[in-house]
Amino acid sequence: MSAHRPPLRLVVSAPTALEKPLAERGDDDLMLLARAGRQEAFAVLVERYLPRLVSFCGKFISHARLGEELAQEVLLQTWARRHHYQPQGHFVPFLFTLANNLCRNHVRDATRRRRRESDEPAPERAAPEPAQLDVLLERERTRRVHEAIGALPENLREAVLLRFDQGLDYADISRTLGCREVTARSRVFHGIKRLRANLHAEDET
């Protein structure tokens, strides 16, 4: 007769947040990782919310192309303010508050420009040729931008050039690079962010 053995019990620990793939983590968790410098965590938020921001901004200002630009700016502001974000489960209101304020400012500024233009008499002569100094300054700005683009990682550089040099829309960029459209948008976003950082760093040297 065999000795009595206790029943076999399997202890399975629940997976922690750190064990989850980034794509399965909540917004607050991703923002905490972004605060710690994990850009790949913020990239998940970009992919998660950029299409919604583009739709919101485009409809708010009644301009699809400018809506895409404003959506990019919202995410740039979100990244810049990541250290001030309080992880209390309110990331979506936080994000769309930024978007709403940015769109409101855009509409208000556009209205002011239209009013000024309607009050100003139409120009009666062509604009003068730019001064030689203006030409030199423009060439210098162009050189700096080209160097900053060249310093981008290849996957970001090709996305930025396809979008802004060749004027491709995100659907065509995704077809060209063999990636999802949301990935194309994310690469353009990170390319712009890196480009701005490179140019800002050069200004401070």
| DSSP sequence for 116-175 | HHHHSPPPSSPPPPPPHHHHHHHHHHHHHHHHHHHTS-HHHHHHHIIIIIS---HHHHHH
Domain ranges for the chain: 21-118, 140-205
Q: CATH assignment of 140-205, given 3.40.120.10, 1.25.40.10, 3.40.630.30, 1.10.10.10?
A: 1.10.10.10
When the pLDDT of each residue in the chain is averaged and rounded to a whole number, the result is 84
Average of per-residue pLDDT across 127-153 = 77
**What pLDDT was estimated at residue 126?**
52
Angle among Cα 172, 183, 174 to the nearest 5 degrees reads 15
**Higher per-residue pLDDT: 148 or 139:** 148
**What pLDDT was estimated at residue 117?**
73
Average of per-residue pLDDT across 140-165 = 89
Entry pTM: 0.71
Written as six digits, the tokens of 77 are: 């502001």
Cα 61 from Cα 103, distance rounded (Å): 7
pLDDT tens for 167-196 read 999 999 999 999 999 999 999 999 999 999
Half-sphere exposure (Cβ direction) of 7: Cα atoms closer than 13 Å: 3
Find, among 158, 189, 156, 184, the residue nearest to 170 by Cα: 184
Please determine, for residue 8, whether its predicted confidence score (pLDDT) is greater than 70.
no
**Higher per-residue pLDDT: 33 or 110:** 33
**What pLDDT was estimated at residue 130?**
58
Burial profile 168-181: b = 16 or more Cβ within 10 angstroms, e = fewer:
bebeebbeeeeeeb
pLDDT band at 146 (very low <50, low <70, confident <90, very high): confident
Cα 190 from Cα 193, distance rounded (Å): 5
**What pLDDT was estimated at residue 185?**
95
Cα 56 from Cα 96, distance rounded (Å): 9
**What pLDDT was estimated at residue 120?**
61
Range in 27-31, 34-38, 135-139 with the lowest mean pLDDT = 135-139
Written as six digits, the tokens of 2 are: 């065999």
**What pLDDT was estimated at residue 199?**
87
Is 77 within 8 Å of 102 (Cβ atoms)?
yes
Please determine, for residue 205, whether its predicted confidence score (pLDDT) is greater than 80.
no
**What pLDDT was estimated at residue 181?**
95
**Higher per-residue pLDDT: 58 or 142:** 58
Domain 21-118 falls in which CATH fold?
Rna Polymerase Sigma Factor; Chain: A (1.10.1740)
